Amino acid sequence: MAYYFEEPSRTFGEYLLVPGYSSAQCVPTAVSLKTPLVRFRKGEEQCPIEMNIPMVSAIMQSVSGDKLAIALAKQGGVSFIYGSQSVEDEADMVRRVKQYKKGFVTSDSNLPPTATLADVLELKNETGHSTVAITDDGTAHGKLLGIVASRDYRLSRMPMDLSVKEFMTPLERLITAPASTNLHDCNDIIWDNKINSLPLVDDEGRLQYMVFRKDYDSHKENVNELLDENKSYVVGAGINTRDYETRVPALVEAGVDVLCIDSSEGYSEWQERTISWIRANYGDRVKVGAGNVVDREGFLFLAKAGADFVKIGIGGGSICITRETKGIGRGQATAVIEVAKARDDYFKQTGIYVPICSDGGIVHDYHITLALAMGADFVMLGRYFARFDESPTAKLRINGNYVKEYWGEGSNRARNWQRYDLGGAQKLSFEEGVDSYVPYAGTLAEGVQTTLYKVRSTMCNCGALSIEELQEKARLTVVSSTSIVEGGSHDVILRNNNQTN
Ligand code: IMP
């Protein structure tokens, strides 16, 4: 006879934290958000990879490219570069993160000399950057011909079809430096010459990097940045259970720090086989997370198979329609609570702590605090990160509002059928994700800092200065639907939209 769970499965929106005593020492700036990423013998050794913030970005085409990975590592978290691309392209993205030199920017605003003022404005709108490199082939590493900055054009006086050649600052009037110049010297050149950007070129005049005056202070500001022992940013990458024999070696060779099997349902022999292959070929040197699971049995299966962390969540993602199409899944809060208990039991029995990640379904910032309080070591977010400048998708203007594109890995747009393991390489004939827009939200740095300030504040209200302390002290309550209404503004006329709420 079928098994029935006694309790309905619940989501984050059905819970609140009940505050506890907070001492005068308990202030947001004193809170540490350090958290383990991979398995370790807790109490006996240090976790081999610890993050400075409990956030990782989703293994998705519309979220985790190299640019977002760098921005997130600067804040102390880890991106998992999407695996639904060729092995070479994914390894190149990892390599770009590992080889990223702080302060040296690979230009993302480039045009060929045939471009017009209209093209410059369109690109500026897309990237948000006002400096455009003009190269012979319009790429980031073409031969540098000139630079267009805002001071080079006057919209009221110049026709839109004017060629960039007419108004760019040409190479012969630009100050450039050899690609080998160190950051300190670059900044001196910028200050001495009162310029805003310095292009670095190789011996053949090909653009390599740009150094910007506006970045000068930001190199010093990233107190939380997550670096490996060679001072490169830490980065993760998604793999699947089919081509791991070629994908894993390429990613390892590119310098990846941690892998994660990307699958909608992880309680499977396919995942066990993938982890076994990695252990047989690399021992414990290569770290690999697995998932997704939503219960105790799924967690224990992957922990015993050797997963370095286990990801939780089926059907809760903002773009996910798995529950509607297949009728599988579980409320995210219930899944996290049950898996956290299994993780603690496994630790008591074996001395091995396997971190768990709550993946998907974070709608409000406080959901992150709830997930941590319920036992998650960190959270994975897709929609949240897709909104920022650094995500790899286009920024568009719709009905007067800026939005960014965001689509599921199981949508026809991504066609990532490898994350649905049913054996063989057959394509699914139905989608498990949608193609959508999310409101544009500016830079990742500002967004993450605001979010985590809220998380830290709530932790203080619960008397917790660390995630571990939050998990010990948190008191959670299920809220009724009427108290959810009470929790928003109500019975007032809001000034900005004249609505009664
Ligand atoms: P979000 O943060 O709520 O947007 O959820 C992101 C998570 O949704 C990802 O980390 C994946 O686990 C999951 N996901 C990504 N693409 C799909 C899809 O097409 N269908 C179902 N789930 C997806």
State if residue 375 touches ligand 1 by the CB under 6 angstroms criterion.
Answer: no
- pLDDT cut 90: percent of the chain above it: 82
Q: Whose CA is nearest to atom 17 of ligand 1?
A: 408
Q: Between residues 402 and 501, which one has the greater pLDDT?
A: 402
The tens digit of pLDDT for each residue in 162-208 reads 999 999 999 999 999 999 998 889 999 999 999 999 999 999 999 99
Best of 319, 406, 418, 451 for a ligand 1 pocket test (most atoms within 8 Å of beta carbon):
319
pLDDT at 500 over 50: no
Distance 317 CA to ligand 1 centre (A): 4
Cis peptide before 496 (omega within 30 of 0): no
State if residue 380 touches ligand 1 by the CB under 6 angstroms criterion.
Answer: yes
138 marked ligand binding residue: no
Residue range 110-221 forms a domain whose CATH class is: alpha beta
pLDDT class for 497, splitting at 50, 70, 90? low
Predicted local distance difference test score (pLDDT) of residue 231? 85
Predicted local distance difference test score (pLDDT) of residue 501? 35
Distance 40 CA to ligand 1 centre (A): 27
* Eight-class DSSP state of 255: T
State if residue 389 touches ligand 1 by the CB under 6 angstroms criterion.
Answer: no
pLDDT at 11 over 90: yes
263 marked ligand binding residue: yes
Residues 6+ apart with CB under 8 A from 436: 318, 319, 405, 406, 407
Strand partners, 398: 401
Q: Which of 161, 159, 160, 129 is nearest to 147 (CA)?
A: 129
pLDDT at 498 over 60: no
Q: Which atom of ligand 1 is nearest to the CA of 411?
A: 19
Separation CA 113–CA 258 (nearest Å): 41
The tens digit of pLDDT for each residue in 324-366 reads 889 999 999 999 999 999 999 999 999 999 999 999 999 999 9
- Out of 419, 456, 460, 462, the active site residue is 419
Distance 107 CA to ligand 1 centre (A): 30
Q: Averaged over 303-323, what is the pLDDT?
A: 95
Known catalytic residue at 320: yes
- Out of 26, 320, 460, 462, the active site residue is 320
State if residue 312 touches ligand 1 by the CB under 6 angstroms criterion.
Answer: no
Predicted local distance difference test score (pLDDT) of residue 221? 66
Q: In this structure, how many other beta carbons lie within 10 angstroms of the beta carbon of residue 152? A: 19
State if residue 381 touches ligand 1 by the CB under 6 angstroms criterion.
Answer: yes
Residue 36 CA: distances (Å) to CA of 167, 262, 328? 52, 20, 29
Known catalytic residue at 419: yes
The tens digit of pLDDT for each residue in 456-466 reads 999 999 999 99
Contact in structure between 463 and 22 (CB atoms under 8 Å): yes
Strongest mean pLDDT among 2-6, 36-40, 106-110: 36-40
The tens digit of pLDDT for each residue in 421-441 reads 766 556 556 788 999 999 999
314 marked ligand binding residue: yes
State if residue 410 touches ligand 1 by the CB under 6 angstroms criterion.
Answer: yes
Indicate if 110-221 has the same CATH topology as 12-100+232-486. no
State if residue 383 touches ligand 1 by the CB under 6 angstroms criterion.
Answer: yes
Residue range 12-100+232-486 forms a domain whose CATH class is: alpha beta
Domain boundaries, the chain: 12-100+232-486, 110-221
Q: Whose CA is nearest to atom 13 of ligand 1?
A: 317
Q: Taking all residues of the chain, what is their mean pLDDT, rounded to a whole number? A: 93
Distance 433 CA to ligand 1 centre (A): 8
Q: Between residues 62 and 498, which one has the greater pLDDT?
A: 62
Per-residue three-class SS string for 103-145: CCECCCCEECCCCEHHHHHHHHHHHCCCCEEEECCCCCCCEEE
State if residue 359 touches ligand 1 by the CB under 6 angstroms criterion.
Answer: yes
Environment class of 231 (CB within 10 Å of its CB; exposed 0-12, middle 13-18, buried 19+): exposed
Q: What's the predicted TM-score (pTM) here?
A: 0.85
The tens digit of pLDDT for each residue in 258-273 reads 999 999 999 999 999 9
Distance 320 CA to ligand 1 centre (A): 6
Separation CA 477–CA 253 (nearest Å): 47
Q: Which atom of ligand 1 is nearest to the CA of 432?
A: 20
264 marked ligand binding residue: yes
For helices 332-350 and 365-373, angle between their N-to-C axes, nearest 10 degrees: 30
Distance 382 CA to ligand 1 centre (A): 6
